Structures are given as structure tokens and as C-alpha cells.
Amino acid sequence: VLPNIKYLYPSYIKYFFIYSPVNKLIKDEAYPSIRLTDIGEIKIPLPPLDIQKKIATALDSANALIEKRKEQIEKLDLLIKSQFIEMFGDPVTNPKGWETDVLGRLSDIYRGGSPRPISQFLGGNIPWIKIGDATKGDNIFLYETREKIIEDGVVKSRFVKDGSIIFANCGVSLGFARIIQFDGCIHDGWLSFENISPKLNKIFLLKSINMCTDFFREIAPDGTQPNLNTAIMKKYIQILPPSLLQNQFAEFVEKIEAQKVLLKKSLADMEQNYQSLMQKCFKGEIF
């Protein structure tokens, strides 16, 4: 869209298309597209240019605050990674010379399973943990699932207990890990770490394997997507720094996570206010 600057301020039209229900014109979600004739029929509110500029400026300011808050959250994530490296070094090359052991002796490791067709097993009261439940955001804990399965689905899956670590072992999600805060079943895109040795703080272990995502992708068997099986993970050499250091790091992580919760709440409020401001702007309720 090339706006006629005699009538349309470019940033104003940009925000209008963000606000307007353009998505309703998309006929096929798998191959999203909009016909030029449909775009041409969209009616645009046309206040004077000076009002358009005021609207764009107000939305620019609100959007800048949102991006700033997102940047603050990202910096906290980087702070955790930086603290890990400072305290423990690279967990793969182990430059600090920590004691090590294979992960298979430090934890029981199991592969998830998926009842098929899953539609026949949904609707029960047992949490069904899919990759999508844990790949949005970066909380170290998982508190709930969107779907639940019936008892008959449990024998076709892997039932994991509250406090277990789950680790996404394939595809683009490889490396995601969470500590679950409930009993539930994992599908075959997850590995579970259960009965974890007292030599390992769970938060330390979770962040340790998070740090190794690139390494895991390198050692995963060739295929259309990287895929780590239980045999590979059992052979992974895990560093074992003193428990005191692991616990100190875990406390640091929990403090940072608490700060992130507050910032994310603030971000959600900002995004809600941004949508409200946009609505008011294009309905002519301000300016």
C-alpha cells in the first residue's frame, strides 16, 4: 500500500492496518493471503493530517514502551545465562574441571508416548502435556495444560510425577525444559527426568541442559528434524559442581524469575492499554 501523503500520514495507515480486522479477509489460514480487491474495499477513517500525526505519535510512544519492557525481560534471561557461565563455565567443555557423571546414573530418563488417535482419549481429568503448553514464555515451572486425557490414555503415554523435569527432545522445540508442578502425561516429543539424584539441584539441571541446546542439536541423529532419544541423553556427561554453588545459582534464578513475573504483568497491562488506545484513536474518541 502506497499512501497518498496529501491525505494519509504513513504511520497512521500502518497502525490502522494493525487495528483493522484485516485478518477476517484471510480465507485460508494455512496459506494466508488477501486479495487486492478486498484491500481496496476497506474503509479508512480520514481525520485531518494533523490528527493522523497525533494518533501515530501516541501509538508510537505506547509501542516504544512495550518494546522497552520486552527488552528488559530479554536482558534478565541473558543475565541468568551470564551468571551460569560465570559460576560454572561451559557445561559441555567443563573448563572449571567439575566432577562429572553420565546423566543416566543421575536420573531415570523416559520417553513420552502419544495415544492415537488422540481425539479418542481427550476429555478426562489427567493433564496432557504437549509441547505447546511449555514453549510459550520461558518460565522454569509448568503449572497447567490446555487439554486432559482419560484413564485409558495413560497406559499409552508416560505418566510423570509432580517435580519431574520434562525436556523437549526433537524439532525446533529441542532444548525447552520445564519442572512440572502436577502429575500428568507427556507425549512423545518429551523426555522426562525422574528420581533425580540429590547431587543435582533441579533448577541447576534445567538451566544446565538449556545451555546445551546447540550441542544437543549437533549430536542428534541425522534426519528431517533433530531427535534425541533416551540412550543419547543417558550418555550425556553432566557436570556436578558442589551442591552449595548449585543452590546459590538456583536462588539467583528464582529471584530473577520473580522479577520477570512482575515485568510480564506490566507488559500485559501495557499491551492491553495499547489496544484500548488504538481502539479509541480509530473510533475518534480522542484527538
Is residue 2 scored above 70 in pLDDT? no
Grid cell digits, residue 280: 479509541
CA gyration radius, the chain: 24
Q: Who wins on pLDDT, 105 or 218?
A: 105
Express each pLDDT in 47-106 by its tens digit: 889 999 999 999 999 999 999 999 999 999 899 999 999 999 999 999 999 999 999 999
- Name the nearest CA neighbour of 169 among 143, 203, 193, 148: 193
pTM of the model: 0.80
For residues 202-229, b (16+ Cβ closer than 10 Å) or e, as one string? bbbbbbbbbbbeebbeeebeeeeebebe
Express each pLDDT in 238-249 by its tens digit: 999 999 999 999
The CATH code that applies to domain 99-240 is 3.90.220.20
The sign of the torsion formed by the CA atoms of 92, 140, 143, 201 equals positive
Express each pLDDT in 154-203 by its tens digit: 999 999 999 999 999 887 788 889 999 999 999 888 999 999 999 999 99
Is residue 128 scored above 70 in pLDDT? yes
- Name the nearest CA neighbour of 243 among 197, 193, 200: 200
* Helix, coil or strand: residue 220: coil
The C-alpha atoms of residue 152 and residue 115 are separated, in whole angstroms, by 9
The C-alpha atoms of residue 193 and residue 239 are separated, in whole angstroms, by 16
Grid cell digits, residue 57: 505519535
The sign of the torsion formed by the CA atoms of 95, 96, 101, 104 equals negative
Cis (ω within 30 of 0) for the bond into 117? yes
What's the rounded mean pLDDT across residues 105-129?
93
So what's the pLDDT on residue 151? 93
Q: Residue 117: exposed, middle, or buried by beta-carbon count in 10 A (0-12, 13-18, 19+)?
A: exposed
Express each pLDDT in 132-168 by its tens digit: 887 665 678 999 999 999 999 999 999 999 999 999 9
So what's the pLDDT on residue 208? 95
Q: Where are the domains of the chain?
A: 99-240
Is residue 4 scored above 90 in pLDDT? no
